[in-house]
Chain A
Amino acid sequence: MTRWPLPLKHLRIAIPLIYGLTIAATLLHAADTPALQTTTWTYEPAATTSNQSPCPSPATCQIWRQFRASHPWPYQTFALQQQPNTNEAVIIISEPPPTLSRDQLAQVLRKIFGDSFLEFNYDRWATGVDGWLEDVVLRVRTNPDQPTTTVLSGELQTWQAPADIVDRLRLLHLILQKTSDGFWLDRIDSSSSSDANAVPIAELKIPVSDVAGWLAEDKRVWTSIATGSVIKRTTRELYAEKTPGVFRCEHGMVALVAPANVKLDNLAPQFRRFAVASDLILGASGLNKGGLLLLGRLRQLPLATLPPLRFESLASFARNKTQHLAQSYERQRIFAGRIQSGKYAGWDWAPILLSQQLDDSEFGTLLNLADQILKSWSEHGRVEYYAFAYPKPDKYPFEPGPASDYFRDKYLTASLLFNWNTEGVATITTVNGKEILTGDRTGALHILYRPSNSLLEELGTARVDFRAMQKDADERATHARDYFATRGDPILVRVLQNVLLFQAAQSFLTIADPQDPTRLSRSDQVASVLQKQASLWLSQINRGDSDVERSISANLKQFMRTSGYSTDKMAQVLASPQSVERDLQRAYEKYRSTQSDALWMPGYLQKSAQHAHELFESTCNSVGGHIEKTPAGNKCNWKTTGPFDTAPEVFASYDAYTQGLKKMENDFIASLNRIQEQRDEVAALWDTYAKASEIAQKLSARAGGVDLDDVLRKVLESTAASATTGSIRTPSVVLSKNSVDVESIGGHNIDLIPPRRVVEPNFEISKVSTPGPHSIPQIGELPPPRPEIATLKVERSGTLLSEMRPLANDTDTASPRFATLQAKAKTCQCEAIVTQGEDGVIYYTRNAPPPYTGPLFGKTAVIDALATPPPVHIVRFEGFSGDTVENLSRSTALLTDTSHQGSFNKALDSLNGLFGRSSVTTSRSEVTITVTRDGQAPEILRIGENSGTLAALREPMEWRTAGVSEATPQKFAELFGNEAVLHDGATTGVVVEFARKEAGSQRLLGITVDSATAQRPGFWARLRAVVSQWLRSQPAQPRPWAESLVDLRQTIKRELSPADLRFYYQNNQRRIRVAKLFTRPRTEG
């Protein structure tokens, strides 16, 4: 009898983080399941079959190799292949994150899969001599009766997978990533290949003007993407957010918020959501009170093409912060060279330098791969690396031959330094007080080519024109960067993504967790072995026990005597000459950067001073101030009227800008003072390096007598002793074959402190109170931002269903909001409320019968909601413009198409739109509108219709040319009928007569008041004057009289305060229509 694991259907429901941790803890502490034998197998894709270690699991090896052949570079995923004609499946958990130790992961997996386990293996895909990517490979039984479920693959396609396995892997995802969001499952397919995932990635160039402009839209609405509760935030609120979260906006951007001193445990699930939901980092910014706002593009690329950034990378860096990272292949180290025997015979070996933060990391592995791409392709494919079967391009950056040939033929150089670096890649710009980090492009880092025989040539004693050569090399490097960046290579893009992530973290992220203790890098371990060997060898030379020529030996002794180098120090140079060169390189880059600043900074500061002056003047003008010139400088005098126009408030932008400029100026002056110092430092380093390297080069060349294979063996033995706790091991040495006769060196120089700039703030932006939802802010000297969708190349899902479904999911869970709306509707003295929030979501709440509350998808749906039986007569609109209310009401009237409802809507559209919030009721012959203004008592506007419809309410009237006169009671009754005569029969009125359109057409408006008001001395003359003045103030263009009526009423009320005010309208043919407007307290309505 077979026992199947219990179904875990409930796991498809999103489980909060705490559940995930609880589940993991429960699983770890549960009673042990029977131990399962595990094997660890390393497969070397570059090795011949005879050199492979035997496969320990015929049932899984082939499937795993097939998976890895499709994903030969770092790729963290879950993958599955169902075995045909069996009830078995192979599951691969590739490069599991270090959330759990190996033992803990094994225990959890045993608990999750229980009795269905058949096999449990660790398979390692070699990425160099001693580097690998490790995957957990499981073979499990599946339940043939278990239904399938739809699941997303790394290609962002859906497929059907067994529900029991999906549930278990989703749980594992929850434990490892601390969220079940972002779960996907790859299908291992025999037809897939690595080329299928190497889709070129279209490059983005997002300047700071775009990011700053997008982030300047304070009212832009962002929606949280976590499953469960839906949170909406404006950009302004994001900057003030106090808890970690991930939000997306409607224009293709995703934002991660990591407040100051965030705990990494709390950040983990949010970062995972961000990393899956986005693909390219667009920039970063500092939150108001410290902390990181990371901005990404909404994911457009398959997960398999550009996998999510890993939280473990960020967490490791955050606990081991540094300002600089480096990676290089150290060919100039002593004892590096050709291997004579064994399975690597014929390859040249060299130690790999990797900053300790990069050891055993995805990023470190990517840097090695990117280095190989740069060197191999720059050398026209003539440099090959062990275990680097990267597809070769059809065209190289240097044509027709290698880069080294190009420089050798032109400048007689024999050495070429290749370097990926961060020069000019990222910048932090202060815009309107916000610090914004942006990259210049997404395709590849900056490249440096440095041809030389040795760096001595740069001192000016070379046989070639150094400046011309360097200029040429810089131009070639620029072209090469264009070449690499526009290829859309996923490895190069991933490197740049990690660089931006680390720069953002270095600049803005602060964590509550302590820093890790400093540890020795693997490169240091290798250097230590080499130094020990070199020290022994130097001692032999000094004793005269070696084969080294006497002259070299004499030079060595003399150098050590004059430079003060001890044997150990000299051994260090021999063991790690590039450590000296790296210092030199760094000093030289700093010197170049200062020189570069010296070229543009004075002009920039001068221009900025002018901007500051203009900003001061415009700021002063904005508060009605005047500028006084004093010996101490200009001074702005203005009259303060409240707490918001004090000097610090008014001049906040100006102060921030000028302070930023001052800091830049001070930094610049300080750097100018240091320029000579920097030059001296470079010269001194060159001098020492030159002498040391000359000796080292000569010595290393004579080190052939040493058994290099033995040295390599000792290096590998030493590094093998340092355990790898995670699923990636970065190699300590590299093997290459170079068919070009050149000394090629270099790697990555990654500066994590980007240069800073300040941009003149735009004073206007802080004063614009209600920019439209898509208005484009202008920011000081920056050009306006480009439209997001087109700029980000966001291909959004195109259907109405895909647009509505997430909104429906959100709004269906918005029950607390429903309750609020229902409570509001009950007291609104209306039958229904239509509410639009700042986020654009519309809710419709109808009291009865039957009651209803729900979202409306767009304002198009409002019309159908209002038109759907049962009819509603009193509707309150909130958050809509008058024009929109008018259009909606008239459209509803057209749809319902009855005369009374038509007049209801006509009245509504004419009058309701003029007020913020109104409610309307209607009866057979009368429409009553309750006008509510903030802070004022409700008023009632009642429009009575004695005949016909109120279509004339819309009739445009020529108010400006109308005349005004007084009328006796008899005349008033004659014009407007007996109904218009007030109860005492003694009151007169004022009549407005409109210009005749055609013969016989007379249009009149009668205005009268209650008797008490009418008896005020001189009232009628004053009323006539007020009306006359109002008529003259009207626009020349005709205006619908219903709108004007409200305005006229307001004017009379304001000027004369009548207790009751009534209007009568008479059109031709004596058809009388009466409009009465009077104020009543709400209770009487």
Chain B
Amino acid sequence: MTNSLAILFAIPVNKEEFDQVVARTPRSDYLTGMLLSASPEQIWASDYQSISRAALALISTAHKLGVAVYQRATLHDFSVATSNFSTIILFTHWRGAIVRPTDFLVGFPAVNAQMSRSPALQHVRIVVSEIAAVVTALNAEIESLNSLNVLPKSLADAGRRTKSIGQTLCRDLIDESLLGMIVPGNRVEFFDGLYTPAQVEAALSAGFSGQIDFALCNSAALATFIDLRRHNAVRHLHWPTVIDPRPQLIKVEKTLNLMNEYGGDYAKTRLFVEESE
């Protein structure tokens, strides 16, 4: 049963990979957030080492059970894996909706002028004429879901019903309005870079009808995208919030062990693990 599974790690699982990602230019979006407040060595020692331990334990279990493991997983690996395995567990990072000062490619005047012309953003009030104020205002906009008002009713309803979807839509609106001025959000980070949900879906094998555990933060948006493109044909597990990778890694390992002992399919067993908590 477990030999039809593949686990893809698009995040570092050991020190060597961690160092590789830290040294990469442009730097990984995943680690950029972590490294804002501490050095790579500090982050490794205080935080990432334990993630690595959990990941390596999972990899060890996976190897014992005959589960395929892709480290340094690229989008191409994802494509290959979905062609060859019916169940995919994907550990990767979601570059989400939050706007960062470093996202802006142009200065305040151009951004401000464009925002004032944009139907989706012209109501946003910026108190100080600087990018930092724009960042604050736009993040407040995303948090409040105000921009959803410019969308068709059913779409706005969907955004309000599921906050992570609403925030994703708000960021898409911002990126659309400030096209060319901002580095877009809402991307999936594989080991070889950031990809749009459409690129991930396009890489998904055409005939794939198995299960995917999107074991990443805010994966509801990616899961929804794939639902829409694939007409709900792909069974998946997703999480609408920010999640800590450690428990995810441990629970996946537990799921594999249960499957090995009792059989059954991945999604049901994985849910069982969640339910047992």
State the A residues within 8 Å of B (CB). Answer: 160, 221, 250, 772-776, 787-790, 796-805, 807-809, 811-812, 836, 839-840, 842, 854-861, 864-865, 868, 883-884, 886-887, 890-891, 893-894, 902, 951, 954, 956, 1037-1038
Contact = CB atoms under 8 A, between A and B. Distances in A.
Contacts of A1037: 262-263
A854 B207 contact: no
B152 A861 contact: no
Contact of A798 (B198, B230, B272): B198
A868 B235 contact: no
B172 A801 contact: yes
Given A839-B231, A886-B268, A890-B271, A801 B169 contact: yes
B124 to A, nearest CB: 17
A658 to B, nearest CB: 32
Closest 3 CB pairs of A and B: A798-B196, A858-B227, A840-B231
14 contacts: A772-B207, A773-B230, A774-B230, A776-B206, A789-B206, A800-B168, A801-B168, A801-B172, A805-B151, A805-B155, A840-B228, A855-B154, A858-B224, A868-B161
Contact of A776 (B176, B186, B207, B262): B207
B15 to A, nearest CB: 33
A799 B175 CA distance: 10
A221 B161 contact: no
A13 to B, nearest CB: 15
Contacts of B155: 804-805, 808, 857
A9 B197 CA distance: 36
B175 A857 contact: no
Contacts of B151: 801, 805, 808
Contacts of A861: 158, 161-162, 165, 224
B275 A836 contact: no
Interface in B260-275: 262-265, 267-268, 271-272, 274-275
A801 B223 contact: no
Contacts of A842: 232
B108 interface: no
Given A773-B233, A854-B154, A800 B271 contact: no
Given A808-B154, A854-B154, A860-B162, 7 more contacts: A799-B186, A857-B224, A860-B223, A860-B224, A861-B162, A883-B268, A956-B262
Contact of A803 (B161, B205, B229, B235): B229
B272 A954 contact: yes
Contacts of A860: 162, 165, 220, 223-224, 227, 238
Nearest to A150: B119
B223 to A, nearest CB: 5
Contact of A774 (B117, B176, B223, B233): B233
A859 B161 CA distance: 13
B199 interface: yes
B197 A800 contact: yes
Contacts of B165: 800, 857, 860-861
Nearest to A784: B207
Contacts of B157: 854
A976 B175 CA distance: 64
B173 interface: yes
B117 A160 contact: yes
A642 B119 CA distance: 63
Contact of A772 (B152, B176, B209, B267): B209
Contacts of B184: 799
A638 to B, nearest CB: 33
A839 B238 CA distance: 23
Given A160-B117, A808-B154, A799 B230 contact: no
B270 to A, nearest CB: 10
B228 A891 contact: no
Nearest to B168: A800
Given A800-B172, A890-B271, A221 B231 contact: yes
A399 B168 CA distance: 55
Contacts of B233: 772-774, 840
A1014 B183 CA distance: 75
Given A799-B172, A894-B271, A807 B202 contact: no
Contact of A790 (B202, B209, B268): B202
A890 B206 contact: no
A313 to B, nearest CB: 33
Nearest to A893: B275
Nearest to B276: A951
Contacts of A858: 223-228, 232
Nearest to B180: A157
Contacts of A854: 154, 157
Quick one: which of A774, A842, A893 has the most chain B CB within 10 A? A774
Contacts of A250: 229, 231
Query: Which of B151, B153, B154 has the largest number of chain A CB atoms within 10 A?
Result: B154
B11 interface: no
A797 B197 CA distance: 9
Contacts of B240: 864
B120 to A, nearest CB: 10
Contacts of B172: 799-802
Contacts of B152: 805, 808-809, 812
Contacts of B161: 861, 864-865, 868
B13 interface: no
Nearest to B187: A798
A906 to B, nearest CB: 8
Interface string B146-186: 00000111110110011001001100110110000000101
B221 interface: yes
A860 B225 CA distance: 10
A808 B176 CA distance: 17
Contacts of B30: none
A884 B232 contact: yes
Given A250-B229, A854-B157, A859-B227, A803 B198 contact: yes
Nearest to B200: A798
Given A774-B206, A803-B225, A858-B224, A798 B199 contact: yes
A498 B154 CA distance: 41
B87 to A, nearest CB: 13
B228 A807 contact: yes
Contacts of A807: 228
